A and B are shown apart, each in its own frame.
Chain A
Amino acid sequence: MPTFTYMTRCDGCGECVDICPSDIMHIDPVYRRSYNVEPNFCWECYSCVKACPQHAIDVRGFADFAPLGHSVRVLREEKMGTISWKIRYRDGRVKEFTFPIRTTPWGSIKPPSDYAAPDANALGSQMLAHEPTALGVEMLPTLPVLDKKEV
């Protein structure tokens, strides 16, 4: 596989197609459901799994080293700012974990153009946006200018 789509859950919305960094989730023209067209170029990155609104995608470990019977499922809740994992072992043991994913509301990042425009002369300095304040120190560290003959 390793990702595969449960036929009965998928409604063909295409979110997984839109997100896969490897361009391997495609919609089957006959069934109008998604499937992995190139399992050997899947990374198990779970981007499609996290994006699917129907929780229709699952992962089965790569056949060359993963015995059957396990599952690693995920629920990413953007509004709550959490991600939860449920790991089921081949022998039936289960482990569950929840971790935070973001501390600010989605969409709240201030674009660079919302800050006061920098002085034109500053373009010639070594300072980057929001520096030196954002560095947490008063001055950008520098090195002595090298004697050109020395090098």
Chain B
Amino acid sequence: MSQRSSKNIKFVDADILVIGGGFGGCGATYESRYWGRDLKIVLVEKANIERSGAVSHGLSAINCYMGMQWGENQPADFVRYARGDLMGLVREDLIFDIARHVDSTVHKFEEWGLPIMKDPKTGRYLREGKWQVMIHGESYKPIIAEAARKSASEVYNRIMVTHLLMDKTRPNRVAGALGFNVRDGQLHVFRAKAVIVAAGGASHVFRPRSVGEGAGKTWYAPWSSASAYGLVLRTGAKMIQMENRIVLARFKDGYGPVGAWSLLLKAQTTNAYGENYEAARLDEIKSLVGKYAETTPLPTCLRNHAMLQEVKAGNGPIYMQTQQVLDTKEKENTGWEDFLDMTVGQAVVWASQNIDPKEKPSELTTSEPYVMGSHATCSGAWASGPEDCAPADYQWGYNRMTTVEGLFGAGDTIGGSAHKFSSGSFTEGRIAGKSAVKYVRELAGNPPQVDEAQLTMLQQEIFKPLENFEIGRNEIVAGSVAPSYISPLQGLQRLEKIMDEYVGGISTFYMTSEPMLNRGLELLTMLKEDLDHIGAEDLHQLQRAWELHHRVWTAEAVLRHTLYRQETRWPGYYYRGDFPKLDDADWHAFTASQYDVKTGEWTMSKLPVHHIIE
């Protein structure tokens, strides 16, 4: 084991360490180089930044663009939209900050070579909806990866970051990170003055709809392993809105997105009998959530709610009537490119099941829940806001710094700022990158020191799953059943089952309650104990073992947040059967949690929601 343990260490010193080379991380790397010409900027990634993260196969739209140059939208309009979609609960300062910068990001993407579609009549970017522009986006990720590679001092691919390292004397200050090379097992110790976590959100925290071989066919990428939360929350950073898991309406099994089909091509969604069920259920929705039912557009969660009620009533399958809108070759191309650029699996479903969208409608369904901070929900770390416009209690340090000193975040990592998507995540990375440069400059000869005791302890912990396997494997003849260890996949399946059945996954129609959550917590606590007994047969499985760790910690935060808030906050994302209604007067607040590293206790609290835009 020696080649995979404490003796084989590579130390890397950096001014700024960026963890995760997806959209947030690439943005952070680019911007920190712009401002910090002389700084050592290191990007570390568990895959290969060329095709890593949620945008690996590409995207067909940029979902966050104002169009200020044409007077299309202003940042304040965007805040109103995002606030409406989340039924009032967003960090308006963070969203405003992204919205006012996002156009410069998108213009840069175009300059770099991303083909953005144009409206032939106006010459402007072709809009999918009010906030989205259409792209030929198959190479979206390689293009932004090129920009990031040219900005970083060093890029380390295939390093699974397992932990953040803290300062020796000041427990609330970050000092770097620790991870191992998935190819040769070498331990990497990154010592850094500032750390930006952009390690993405979480799939596979809840049981997916697909089974067996198909289990990896989720909407958010199967490699989105909750590291953004698993790394950050264990430092004691304050987290918010972790109960705000997202459920998406997508084309069944292929997870093809519905946006371009409904917004651009204007295809109708109906029940099995061709009826527009959403309009028919409006009064019923109003009785559940009151004024929020009057928001235009109807909040995403409430549209899910209508679909769920319809399916429960036996009026499924729900269909997208694609055949009604594909009357030209151009439209057919647009419809297909929407998937081929972003979820090729949808084309596979159509080809295999003989569904030609020109002839037949396609089924829609709601997905299993995901935990993320960049899409239509906003789970993540509580971050300091922009200096010029954040309310006083949203501001304690540098923009996008978490409650841990020197620890910044972007994209899925940062809570409260929903609707950033790809361009907004990159933009938030830019904001964090610039802030981190400022932080490093102002440290002035007072850099953090890695806590050696913590380092020694973690070195042992990281490789333990390999040891567990090597020792435990000798007890059995062959096969996967062993008395003293479980595999990462077995652990993952247990996690998914607990979360699905007790915390509101697909099998309960997203329903949970206090007794269910308490039982779930009991079982989750035992799973956490069993994490010490994960057996990894090789380095690939060791990566899976640490992805599982990050998912389990994230799951616990989701569960505790859901338990703390005694109401159904976003019907269609999850329901509390014991508190079915929304109680706006009491609960118009953010849910926060903080894990205490020393005692292992979680503290739950509420934080105020400030409306800074009318």
On A, residues with C-beta under 8 Å from B are 1-2, 18-24, 26, 37-47, 51, 59, 61-72, 74, 76, 83, 85, 87-91, 93, 95, 97, 99-109, 111-113, 115, 117-118, 123-124, 126, 128-132, 134-137, 140-146, 148, 151
Contact = CB atoms under 8 A, between A and B. Distances in A.
A22 B216 CA distance: 10
B56 interface: yes
A72 B344 contact: yes
B352 A47 contact: no
A67 B355 CA distance: 12
A90 B353 contact: yes
Given A95-B336, A151-B393, A61 B113 contact: no
Given A47-B56, A112-B30, A18 B75 contact: no
Contact of A123 (B50, B213, B441): B441
Nearest to A97: B336
B429 to A, nearest CB: 11
Among A22, A91, A100, A106, max chain B CB count under 10 A is at A22
A23 B347 contact: no
A23 B218 contact: no
Taking chain B's interface residues, is the majority helix, strand, or loop, or is none over half, making it mixed? Answer: helix
B27 to A, nearest CB: 10
Contacts of B353: 66-67, 90
B386 interface: yes
Given A66-B349, A135-B68, A135-B104, A129 B340 contact: no
B288 interface: no
B340 A85 contact: yes
B37 A2 contact: no
A128 B214 CA distance: 43
Contacts of B213: 1-2, 39-40, 62-64
A107 B253 CA distance: 37
B613 interface: yes
Given A21-B52, A43-B56, A112-B31, A61 B352 contact: yes
A110 to B, nearest CB: 8
A45 B115 contact: no
Contacts, number: 270
Contact of A65 (B76, B214, B388, B438): B214
- 8 tightest CB-CB pairs across the interface, nearest first? A136-B69, A62-B214, A104-B113, A70-B351, A111-B150, A134-B104, A112-B34, A66-B352
B389 A109 contact: no
Nearest to B387: A126
Interface of B: 30-31, 33-35, 37, 46-48, 50-53, 56-57, 68-69, 74-76, 96, 100-101, 103-104, 107-108, 112-115, 136, 138-139, 143, 146-147, 150-151, 158, 182, 210-218, 221-223, 253, 333, 336-337, 340-341, 344-345, 347-354, 356, 386-389, 391-393, 427, 430-431, 434, 437-438, 441, 489, 540, 543, 608, 610, 612-613
A61 B348 contact: yes
Given A65-B210, A109-B147, A21 B221 contact: yes
Given A44-B344, A51-B51, A109-B147, 6 more contacts: A70-B348, A88-B351, A99-B341, A100-B136, A123-B437, A141-B96
A63 B138 contact: no
21 contacts: A2-B217, A40-B212, A43-B222, A47-B51, A62-B212, A64-B214, A72-B348, A100-B115, A108-B113, A109-B113, A111-B33, A113-B37, A115-B34, A128-B427, A135-B101, A136-B104, A141-B75, A142-B388, A143-B612, A146-B391, A146-B392
B356 A93 contact: yes
Contact of A102 (B51, B139, B608): B139
A51 B138 CA distance: 13
A21 B139 CA distance: 15
**Residue from A72, A76, A115 with most neighbouring chain B CB atoms (10 Å):** A72
Given A40-B216, A47-B51, A72-B347, A118 B34 contact: yes
B34 A102 contact: no
Contacts of A37: 540
Contact of B354 (A26, A74, A91): A91
A123 B216 contact: no
B48 A62 contact: no
Contacts of A76: 138
A85 B347 contact: yes
Given A112-B34, A124-B438, A44 B143 contact: no
